[in-house]
Structure formats: structure tokens, C-alpha cells
Amino acid sequence: MLRRCLDLLAPALAEPGAVVVDATLGLGGHSEALLSTFPSARLVAIDRDPAALKLSAERLAPFGDRATLVHAVYDELADVLARLGIPKVQGVLFDLGVSSMQLDEADRGFAYAQDAPLDMRMDQTTGISAAEVLNTYPPGDLVRILRTYGEEKYARKIVDAVVKQRVKEPFTNSARLVDLIREVLPQAAKRTGGNPAKRTFQALRIEVNAELAAVEGAIPAAIGALAVGGRIAVLSYQSLEDRIVKQAFAAGAANTAPPGLPVVPEQYQPRLKLLTRGAELPTEEEIAENKRAAPARLRGAERIREEAL
């Protein structure tokens, strides 16, 4: 869906001196496309993963000082722009969730299809690992995490088994957790929906990286950073993220005037115009080319009014 993201942002990035933020740098594919497609634009790219920043710096080196890479979480966007002396930007792109690099590097522990240490931190220099969550959280907290972040119907069964096993030996690797989940889930649950461990792994990853809290802070911050005429495009890969984006966009596009006013004062007028009808989905061709694109949901919006005083 890269082409569609570029098309959504294009009207805002045509003018010389436009600044665009890639809030989820990863391996730099989107940033490279932004810099190539909009040759007069300046890029600010953010990522919490030092390994991703190092690899992307090499990839984006040909663009020289047009690209500024920053080690930060995307909910720190406002602070990053303030430190750089950038009051407003013309575009923001989010590609939420875990990156392909993190999934493909076995020692990061994100992928349930291969055995690895249960880490799951996007920034391995800080925070607690998935193993620490499994081995130390109270059972009630683990159930809540699996139900809320993984939408796992059998959260209680899985957690009961985890608590019994962690007393005997702490969890350290992904294969043991996958095997445990396979053992405790009913046969019917294992026949549908792909790998039965995927919901638990998603839930642990979200908890370890505080992903939903970061999204809840980042989307309003990005909207606030947009100049009038600026645009934001957000790719989400699971319903919890997409719901946060949808609600933030809907709030910005809403008329907030008290009911019954004959004329709506400017301070109550919408700040955003929605650029997508609901969430746009990937095409069959895109999914055939990249199966990881299948759950993607794209939403876009344009800033049409300054904040009311």
C-alpha cells in the first residue's frame, strides 16, 4: 500500500521546503520512497530500534542532509520536532506494528514460527522482555493482557498452564510457549485462524512495547503537528490500533458545537477532513506479493483548520 500512502500525502508535499515525518522508520523503505518521490521535501524519521536506525542510515545516506534520523518512540513526535526547531510539518506517515526486520531476526523473539529467546522488545536497550512478563506478572494481569491485546478467548486456560509451568522452570524461549499453547487449546480452536500462538504473541508484544499507549499519544500529537493543508496517513495491522486511529480521526473531523446553534462558530468547526472512506484495504495483488500486508488498514486525513484558541 506504499503507492497509496504516497498518493495521499502528495498534495501536501509538492511545495519546496515541505517537511514529512516517517514516524516508523524500520528498514527505511517508506522513507526512501518519500525522499525519492518528493525531491524538495525534508524528512524526519523516527524509530525506537537502534538496529533499524543503523541500517536505515546506510540506506538513506545518498539523500544527505535531507534526512534526519532520530532514536525515539513515535509518541515522542512533538518533542522530537521541538528539539529540531520544526514548528509544523506538511506530512506524517505511520506504519504501525512490528517491522519485517524484527519478525525476520530470530533472536528478537517476535515470531512464533521459530524458536528464539522470548524478548520482543523493539528497543532492546530498555524495558522488560516478554519472558519477564510471563514469569513475573500476576495471573490476573496476564489474563487481562491476553484478552485485551490478543483478543484470546482461551486466555484463562493459557495463563493457568503458564503459571503452573513457570514455577517448575521460568520461560526463556518461544518454542516452549508455543508448545504449551498447542497443548491447552481445544482441537476446534487449533483448526482455524492460523497458528494458535499468534494471539498470545501479539498480546505480549503489545504489552512489552506499550504499543497501544504509544499509538494513543502519537496520533493526536501528529495531528497537532500538521500545518493547515498537511496530511497524515496511517497503516494499522490489527483492530485495536485501527480503532484508536479511527477515533482520533473522527474526533478531529467532527463538529463540536453544542446542538441547536443556527451558525457554527469557527472554534467548533472540524480540524480534519477524512481522505479515506473508512479504512482502505490492500488489493489481492498486494497480498499475493506480500502476505504480511493482508491485515493492513489505511486511513488518511488532511488538516483543514488551526486549533481553536
Q: Is 74 annotated as a binding residue?
A: yes
How far is residue 146's CA from residue 202's CA, in Å, rounded to a whole number? Answer: 8
C-alpha cell at 292: 504480511
Q: Is 95 annotated as a binding residue?
A: yes
How far is residue 121's CA from residue 266's CA, in Å, rounded to a whole number? Answer: 44
Q: Is 150 annotated as a binding residue?
A: no
CB half-sphere exposure, 41, CA atoms < 13 A: 28
C-alpha cell at 129: 522482555
165: nearest Cα among 180, 155, 185, 143: 180
Scanning the structure block, which residue is given the C-alpha cell 482502505? 280
How far, in Å, are 67, 176, 256, 267, 269 from residue 261 at the CA level?
47, 62, 11, 13, 12
Q: Is 102 annotated as a binding residue?
A: yes
Q: Is 47 annotated as a binding residue?
A: yes
Binding region for S-adenosyl-L-methionine: 28-30, 47, 74, 95, 102
List binding-site positions.
28-30, 47, 74, 95, 102
